[in-house]
Every structure is written in structure tokens, then in C-alpha cells.
Amino acid sequence: MHYLHIPGMACGGCLGAVSKALQKLDPQTHIESDLKKRTISVSSGQTEGSILTALKNAGYPAQPISAGH
């Protein structure tokens, strides 16, 4: 599980774009989000680096956060 903070994710449309980018990378990706905190948890077979690159390329650069956020 990867925990990420996405400062630019402010609405449902942003979350949709984030989800689309990650599901394009890995169709089996499962995402849980907290729009207020602008965080997501991602369950995927992809590496954290691949996930961060996909988000950056989609216009939503993210930073990893610890599991305890």
C-alpha cells in the first residue's frame, strides 16, 4: 500500500483524473481518498516511483507520506 499527499487534488474532478492516471498504469489499482486532507492510499503492483511518475505526468505531483499519516 502506498500513501500519498497530492496538494493539487482539490475536488472530485481532480480525484477522477488521478484515478484515471493510476488505472491506466495498472488496471487492478485500488484507490481510497480523503479530499479534505488531499491524500490517497493506493493498492497496486506498481512501484511507488512508477505511481509518482504517473501522477506527475497527469499534472498531480505527489509526495509519499508515512502509513500513520
Distance of alpha carbon 10 from alpha carbon 29, whole angstroms: 21
| Residues 4/42, Cβ–Cβ less than 8 Å | yes
User: At 37, which amino acid appears?
Assistant: K
CATH number of the domain encompassing residue 51: 3.30.70.100
69 lies in a domain?
Answer: no
**Residue range of the domain that includes 14:** 2-64
Distance of alpha carbon 49 from alpha carbon 63, whole angstroms: 10
Amino acid 22: pLDDT: 95
pLDDT tens by residue, the chain, 69 residues: 999 999 999 999 999 999 999 999 999 999 999 999 999 999 999 999 999 999 999 999 999 998 655
User: At 65, which amino acid appears?
Assistant: I
Amino acid 66: pLDDT: 81
Amino acid 67: pLDDT: 65
15 lies in a domain?
Answer: yes
